[in-house]
Amino acid sequence: MDLVSTALPVALGIVMLGLGLGLTVGDFARIAQRPRVVLAALLTQLVVLPAICVGLIYLFGLSPILAVGMMLLAASPGGPAANLYSHLFGGDVALNVSLTAINSVLAIVTMPVIYNLAAAHFAAGDESLGLQFGKAAEVFAIVLVPVGIGMLVRRWRERVALRLDRPVRIASMVVLGLLIGGALLQNRQILADNFGHLAGITAVFGMVNLALGYVVPRVFQVTHAQSVACSFEIGLHNAVMAIVVARTVIGSEQMALPPAVYTVIQLPLALVFGLVLGKTVASRRSTPHVGERLSPAGERP
């Protein structure tokens, strides 16, 4: 196994440790206080998006192994960038933290389930793609154990956790950036050969994620700030988690290509989405409703 494949799980573990350092039991308890927004987010994340991903796979005609890689990406929870984007564009960051926590816990079940269903559907008979539920223990170790350690440190040594929180988050982002760059460089030829084929589907999938992440909660009459949080939580997947599972748990370089291309495309797309959403909302707020009278100063009474 090459250095990148060995180091990526370690780097992801650092990211999840950083997440745990910022979590308390209250973050999970807060979920029970917002059942409507959590239901909207989970419905979109776990049901709607995988179904849309299947449709896009057929529309773009992906090969079986790339199709399974796309489904693995769809099954991954929100990534660490979701909190940053939510903060930049007026989202409820506390909600992001809570959703990331619950989605990361659910991922130890949902990722193996969605992967196995996708492998059985798109690559039936290919025994090399069998994750099976015994491998879920590795996903558990990669995802949940570091979060649990971070939460224990936060509970028992809160001052230490608060001091470590920001440095660990910064270090994890730097290490991840370097490792992702190294992985892209190491596999540049494979990536170049498949980028054009995958750029379209990952871009469409990413924009649909962001849009539905905002629209579905609004249908549930969730506030704008909470809908923005859901949008980035759902629209910015933890692609590194999908890459780690593909490369180290399943052992497939090709399956890691869709989430690798996604990492290159989605961050700038999310930035554009946030700017457009902000301007659209500001425009609607500045436009009076039918029959609404403005004061002489141009403000609503």
**Backbone φ and ψ of 252, nearest 5°:** -125, 115
Given this model, what pLDDT does residue 186 score? 59
- Per run of 10 residues, the mean pLDDT along the chain (length 301 residues) is 57 69 66 77 87 94 90 84 79 78 78 84 64 58 71 73 68 64 62 75 92 88 86 86 80 84 84 84 58 43 41
Alpha-carbon distance of 10 to 226, in angstroms, equals 32
Q: Which pLDDT score is estimated for 297?
A: 40
Report pLDDT for 1. 45
Inter-CA distances, 49 with 43, 55, 202, 224, Å = 9, 10, 13, 21
**Which among 112, 100, 118 has a CA at the least distance from the CA of 42?**
100
| Residue 1 burial by Cβ neighbours in a 10 Å radius (0-12, 13-18, 19+) | exposed
- Predicted local confidence at residue 301, as pLDDT: 41
Quickly list DSSP for 82-141: HHHHHHHTT--HHHHHHHHHHHHHHHHHHHHHHHHHHHHHHSTT-GGG--TGGGHHHHHH
List, in order of start, the domains of the chain with CATH numbers.
Answer: 3-280 (1.20.1530.20)
Residue 19 burial (CB count, 10 A)? 25
pLDDT of residue 35: 77
Nearest to 43 by CA among 166, 222, 281, 180: 222
> Using only C-alpha atoms, what is the Rg of the chain?
20
Instruction: Burial-class residue 300 by CB neighbours within 10 Å (0-12, 13-18, 19+).
Output: exposed
- Taking Cα atoms as reference points, which of 69, 157, 154 lies closest to residue 114? 69
Question: Which of 197, 20, 158 is CA-nearest to residue 101?
Answer: 20
* Residue 237, helix vs strand vs coil: strand
Please state, as a whole number, how many other Cβ atoms lie within 10 Å of the Cβ of residue 59: 11
DSSP letters of 55-83?
HHHHHHT--HHHHHHHHHHHHS-B-THHH
Residue 166: the pLDDT is 67
pLDDT of residue 292: 45
pLDDT value, residue 129? 54
Return the pLDDT at 99: 81
